[in-house]
Amino acid sequence: MRACSKTYEHEEILELARLKIKKDENGRYTIQSCKNCENAPCIEACPENAIIKLKDRIIISPTKCNGCKKCIPACPFGAIQIHPTSNKAIKCIYCGICVKACPENALSIVMPTKVFKEKGKKYALTVSSARKWL
């Protein structure tokens, strides 16, 4: 995570890392990352068209993002955050710098399988549909 912030922010500050690791109530660590949903609700939520799908990956354009934060509640996985100084949306882009820097070799990039994509698609559609009623 320090490698991520060092690469993109030129500072080793955990809060600036694009990948977020959370500790759950059972003491297990989980990674909050973009699942690159097939029908990504964050794309639909962005009024500036700053979020696009490019070759099976969700990309956020910092030049188009106006910092409105509508993408944050739209993401069913909590993968999008607002950069503390630019106030623009950011997320992990699977560059792999954290994998290379991990001294314990505890991280790897796993691209979703077809089954995972289908589960993610169904979940994203369910959450997206439910939000329309809120």
Give 10-residue mean pLDDT values along the chain (134 residues). 87 84 82 86 96 91 96 94 93 88 82 58 55 46
pLDDT for the residue 66: 97
**Which secondary structure element, helix H or strand E, spans residue 120, and what is its range?**
helix 114-131
| SS3 call for 116 | helix
Query: pTM of the full predicted structure?
Result: 0.75
The token pair that represents 61 in the structure block: 């354009």
Report CA-CA distances (Å) from 113 to 24, 80, 82. 25, 22, 29
Domain limits of the chain?
Answer: 2-131
Q: In CATH, what number does 2-131 get?
A: 3.30.70.20
Among 22, 31, 27, 26, smallest CA distance to 109 is for 31
